[in-house]
């Protein structure tokens, strides 16, 4: 028989849960009592006090309770459907208005008792626009649970607080009410009452996993209190404490894993690490540079040098906004490796980028007698064999390529440093493969995607981070304009002026060709035809997109770099890392189709020389949210700020879609908002692992168990990092 004294008890042991209901609950992953207790509300509604309609103040948010007096539908001038309800209580009337939700007509009928929650305004009469609503079922009111004569109860309970485990209060009215994400077959009402019962009967079995000393130091509430109040909080202050506690535990376990992984990079592998010292070669490298490094570059270079001079392998992230000059910092690290008799490898996410790095590094390093070779997928067998053997016997000092480098049967003589550019395209697993290829080389990861701080501590929590925030001197800030379709010709005129001055331009489309897409978006191929034959006749117009062969792409990029092409029509293949200092203007078609960070990345392709540069966002956005995003990109050039905004708007999963497996599942916390909690959790976790690296102490045993439960199957990754 199923034990009934622990949280693994199945939900059907709760009274009122039959086979049907438990099936529906299973659909949203709720099988056990524990699942229920940890199924956090997606939001809360403050229904702790109901206001009489006559006391509502425009501009404030309030809850009212009343009866539907009348319903009506009409269409706005734009054609959008509008649905209205007039709701009455004994003190007055208010109008509720919903846009674009015609299905509401089937939800309500005249005479229904409803609760509305929303912002109050005056538009000839008192109204709430798009209020939250709940239709009150009769039993709830007639049973007199509120201790008031139904149907109206305006009394403010003592300071708006309803004691929860005392009388038989309603779970749905007169308190701060939890709202859950649900399957269609379930109601809020049902889940609230189920959760309530689960708490009443089982929360006493919840086990405290955090050591007492951490709870005390961080002033956390205990787990039972937290679980109760995360669902049915007495007030918002207590809710915040409950939330903080639950999120802290989640982040803490994650940071423990990261701390262990980071340790794993360390001491026991030290035998394979290499200390590298700076010398003549790095000195002549610095002398040969055509510019002076910025302070931020110098600092990053010094941090890398310090890491590499230790016997323990470096694991460092070099984070810098587009154009901040990361490549030259990486080149400095590569020189250090070569100087000490080791090979270096540079991995880029695309062939175009690998070639660019190859050219850049060859020009920079070949004069110093360093042999740089290129290794990519599309090479003929003979060349490839030659490159393989150069890598194997050590004639190749530096290998530049795509991920072909780790897939192919490449053998290094003695790999000492791996540089991975644009890390977000690579996963943790690939990093591990690379590390296994060499004798545990130093690893430097470069990313131009500024990472929101909380996310950095999550995804790169096992790495040390160097950040370049400063751009090289003499750069002029890129001027960004968002314009609508009616300005198109004017913008073409503007681009023509730039071309007249000898500058070059990009036009970026979100589609390759019309057939491949949906709706009426501009496509690269059609735009290319039009600009070449009708608009920019007399100029050289080029085309670049992902379906072209490597050879074609390569030729186009070379021609653009050499200035043979004046205007390049492209898809986002130019997104990452391309460096053409003479390009001063970029027009982005259907700019509302791109994510914020992506727009920022694209924009970073210009403004790399000393010229005034312009980014034109062409878009007629269809939603307010899209317009907001365009304004945000127009107003700031700070990639870090943009990244935070982007994560706020779209969530971390979206932004890092391509590196999903590097992003651990976060169930409770919010990576956009909970930086403070993440930071303290990290401090505590790293301190703990410092003192008890193998989690042997008695007081850490439950943590160890949680760690295994949470990262089951992925511990291998944690170990190899
Ligand atoms: P990113 O950080 O986006 O990879 P790059 O390394 O491609 O940037 O550098 C962008 C451009 O800035 C390159 O042309 C590079 O030569 C130049 N650059 C880098 N550092 C400096 C500096 N300290 N002063 C002037 N120009 C620099
Ligand atoms: Mg780069």
- Mean local confidence (pLDDT), 70-98: 92
- What are the tens digits of pLDDT across the range 686-713? 999 999 988 999 999 999 988 888 876 5
Same domain membership, residue 142 and residue 288: no
Strand 479-483 versus strand 614-618 pairing type:
parallel
CATH number at residue 32: 1.10.150
Q: Confirm whether 214 is domain-assigned.
A: no
Contact between 255 and 681 under an 8 Å Cβ cutoff? The reply is yes
77 Cβ contact partners less than 8 Å away, ≥ 6 residues apart: none
Please tell me which residue, 136 or 142, carries the higher pLDDT value.
136
Same domain membership, residue 501 and residue 449: no
Q: Confirm whether 258 is domain-assigned.
A: no
Q: For ligand 1, atom 18, which residue shows the shortest CA distance?
A: 325
Ligand 1 touching residue 325 (CB < 6 A): yes
Same domain membership, residue 64 and residue 40: no
Domain limit, last residue, from 610, 636, 662? 636
Same domain membership, residue 149 and residue 12: no
Parent domain of 198:
1-44+184-206
Same domain membership, residue 29 and residue 56: no
CATH number at residue 295: 3.40.50.300
| Domain total of the chain | 4
Q: Confirm whether 235 is domain-assigned.
A: no
Q: For ligand 1, atom 16, which residue shows the shortest CA distance?
A: 325
- Mean local confidence (pLDDT), 531-557: 91
- Two tokens at 48? 């702790």
Between the CA of 125 and the centroid of ligand 1 the distance, in Å, is 60
Q: Confirm whether 659 is domain-assigned.
A: no
Same domain membership, residue 627 and residue 493: yes
- Predicted local confidence at residue 492, as pLDDT: 96
- Mean local confidence (pLDDT), 19-46: 91
Same domain membership, residue 188 and residue 145: no
Q: Confirm whether 326 is domain-assigned.
A: yes
Contact between 265 and 313 under an 8 Å Cβ cutoff? The reply is yes
CA 470 → CA 300, 323, 637, 644, distances in Å? 12, 10, 12, 18
How far apart are the C-alpha atoms of 656 and 145, rounded to whole Å?
Answer: 48
Same domain membership, residue 518 and residue 405: no
Strand 132-135 versus strand 113-123 pairing type:
antiparallel
- Predicted local confidence at residue 364, as pLDDT: 94
Same domain membership, residue 389 and residue 531: no
- What are the tens digits of pLDDT across the range 205-242? 999 999 999 999 999 999 999 999 999 998 999 999 99
Domain limit, last residue, from 435, 468, 501? 468
Ligand nearest to the CA of 295: 1
Between the CA of 487 and the centroid of ligand 2 the distance, in Å, is 33
- Two tokens at 395? 């004639």
Ligand nearest to the CA of 328: 1
Contact between 195 and 216 under an 8 Å Cβ cutoff? The reply is no
Residue 198: pLDDT over 50: yes
- Predicted local confidence at residue 240, as pLDDT: 96
Which of 290, 328, 356 should be mutated for ligand 1, with most atoms under 8 A from CB?
A: 328
Q: Confirm whether 242 is domain-assigned.
A: no
How far apart are the C-alpha atoms of 369 and 522, rounded to whole Å?
Answer: 48
Same domain membership, residue 33 and residue 91: no
Ligand 1 touching residue 461 (CB < 6 A): no
Number of the ligand 1 atom closest to the C-alpha atom of 360: 16
Q: Confirm whether 232 is domain-assigned.
A: no
Band of residue 270 on the pLDDT scale cut at 50, 70, 90: very low
Domain limit, last residue, from 419, 437, 468? 468
Contact between 459 and 447 under an 8 Å Cβ cutoff? The reply is no
Q: Confirm whether 259 is domain-assigned.
A: no
H/E segment holding residue 629? helix 624-635
Between the CA of 299 and the centroid of ligand 1 the distance, in Å, is 15
Ligand 1 touching residue 582 (CB < 6 A): no
**β partners of residue 277:** none
Between the CA of 555 and the centroid of ligand 1 the distance, in Å, is 23
Same domain membership, residue 462 and residue 547: no
Ligand 1 touching residue 291 (CB < 6 A): yes
How far apart are the C-alpha atoms of 617 and 505, rounded to whole Å?
Answer: 14
CATH number at residue 66: 2.40.50.140
Same domain membership, residue 102 and residue 68: yes
- What are the tens digits of pLDDT across the range 297-350? 999 999 999 999 988 888 898 988 877 899 999 999 999 999 999 999 998 877
> Could you tell me what percent of the chain has a pLDDT over 70?
85
């Amino acid at each position: 028989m199923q034990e009934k004294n622990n949280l693994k008890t199945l939900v059907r042991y709760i009274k009122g849960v039959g086979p049907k209901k438990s099936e529906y609950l299973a659909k949203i992953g709720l099988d056990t009592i524990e699942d229920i207790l940890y199924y956090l509300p997606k939001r809360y509604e403050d229904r702790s006090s109901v206001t009489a309609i006559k006391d509502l103040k425009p501009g404030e948010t309030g809850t009212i309770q009343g009866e539907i007096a009348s319903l009506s539908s009409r269409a706005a001038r734009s054609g959008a459907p509008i649905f209205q309800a007039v709701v009455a209580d004994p003190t007055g009337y208010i109008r509720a208005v919903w846009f674009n939700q015609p299905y509401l007509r089937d939800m309500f009928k005249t005479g229904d008792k409803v609760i509305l929650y929303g912002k109050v305004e005056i538009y000839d009469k008192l109204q709430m626009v798009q209020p939250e609503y709940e239709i009150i079922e009769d039993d709830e009111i007639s049973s007199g649970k509120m201790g008031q004569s139904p149907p109206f109860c305006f009394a403010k309970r003592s300071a708006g607080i309803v004691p929860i485990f005392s009388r038989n209060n309603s779970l749905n009215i007169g308190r701060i009410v939890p709202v859950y994400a649900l399957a269609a077959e379930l109601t809020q009402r049902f889940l609230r009452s189920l959760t309530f019962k689960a708490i009443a009967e089982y929360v006493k079995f919840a086990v405290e996993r955090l050591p007492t000393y951490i709870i005390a130091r961080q002033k956390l509430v205990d787990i039972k209190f937290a679980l109760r109040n995360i669902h049915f909080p007495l007030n918002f202050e207590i809710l915040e404490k409950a939330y903080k506690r639950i999120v802290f535990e989640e982040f803490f376990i994650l940071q423990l894993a990261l701390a262990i992984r980071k340790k794993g990079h360390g001491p026991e592998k030290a035998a394979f690490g290499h200390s590298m010292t700076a010398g003549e070669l790095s000195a002549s490298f610095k002398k040969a540079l055509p510019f002076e490094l910025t302070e931020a570059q110098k600092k990053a270079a010094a941090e890398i040098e310090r890491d590499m001079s230790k016997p323990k392998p470096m694991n460092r992230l070099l984070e810098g906004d587009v154009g901040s000059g990361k490549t030259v910092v990486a080149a400095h690290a590569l020189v250090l490796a070569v100087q000490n008799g080791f090979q270096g490898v540079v991995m880029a996410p695309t062939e175009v980028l690998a070639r660019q790095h190859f050219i850049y590094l060859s020009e920079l390093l070949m004069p110093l007698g360093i042999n740089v070779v290129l290794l990519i997928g599309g090479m003929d067998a003979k060349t490839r064999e030659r490159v393989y053997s150069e890598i194997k016997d050590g004639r190749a000092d530096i290998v530049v390529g795509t991920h072909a480098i780790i897939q192919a049967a490449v053998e290094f003589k003695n790999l000492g440093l791996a540089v991975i550019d644009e890390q977000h395209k690579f996963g943790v697993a690939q990093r591990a493969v690379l590390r296994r290829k060499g004798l545990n080389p130093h690893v430097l990861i470069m990313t131009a995607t500024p990472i929101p701080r909380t996310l950095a501590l999550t995804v790169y929590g096992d790495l040390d981070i160097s950040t370049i925030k400063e751009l090289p001197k003499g750069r002029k800030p890129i001027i960004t304009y968002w314009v609508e379709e009616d300005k198109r010709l004017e913008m073409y005129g503007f681009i023509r002026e730039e071309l007249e001055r000898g500058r070059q331009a990009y036009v970026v489309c979100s589609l390759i060709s019309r057939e491949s897409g949906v709706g009426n978006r501009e496509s690269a191929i059609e735009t290319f035809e039009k600009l070449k034959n009708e608009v920019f006749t007399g100029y050289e117009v080029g085309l670049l997109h992902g379906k072209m062969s490597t050879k074609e792409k390569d030729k186009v990029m070379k021609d653009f770099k050499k200035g043979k092409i004046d205007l390049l029509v492209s898809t986002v293949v130019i997104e990452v890392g391309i460096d053409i200092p003479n390009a001063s203007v970029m027009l982005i078609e259907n700019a509302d189709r791109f994510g914020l960070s992506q727009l920022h990345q694209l924009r970073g392709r210009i403004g790399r020389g000393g010229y005034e540069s312009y980014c034109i966002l062409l878009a007629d956005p269809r939603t307010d949210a899209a317009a907001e995003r365009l304004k945000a990109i127009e107003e700031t050039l700070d990639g870090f700020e943009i990244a935070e905004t982007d994560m706020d708007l779209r969530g971390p999963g979206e932004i890092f879609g391509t590196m999903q497996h590097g992003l651990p599942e976060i169930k409770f916390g919010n990576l956009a908002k909970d930086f403070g909690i993440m930071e303290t959790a990290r401090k505590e976790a790293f301190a703990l692992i410092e003192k008890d690296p193998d989690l042997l102490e008695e007081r850490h045993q439950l943590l160890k168990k949680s760690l295994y439960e949470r990262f089951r199957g992925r511990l291998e990754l944690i170990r190899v990092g």
